[in-house]
Amino acid sequence: MPDILTAEEFDLINRGFVIRIILTCALLCLNI
C-alpha cells in the first residue's frame, strides 16, 4: 500500500485544519 501523503504534507494539512477551526471559532465569538 503506497503512501499517498508524506509526513510533512500530512503535518501541513493538520496544521491548516487546526488554524481553520481556530479562525472559525474566533469569527463566531466576535459575531456574538
Asked if 12 and 20 count as a contact pair (C-beta separation under 8 A), the reply is no
Report d(CA 6, CA 10) in Å as an integer: 6
What CA–CA distances, in Å, run from 1 to 4, 5, 11, 14?
9, 12, 20, 22
Report d(CA 16, CA 25) in Å as an integer: 14
Q: The whole model's pTM is what?
A: 0.57
The CA-based angle 18-30-25, given to 5 degrees, is: 20
Q: Which residue has the higher pLDDT, 8 or 21?
A: 21
With a cut of 70, say whether residue 26 has pLDDT above it: yes
Q: Which residue has the higher pLDDT, 8 or 19?
A: 19
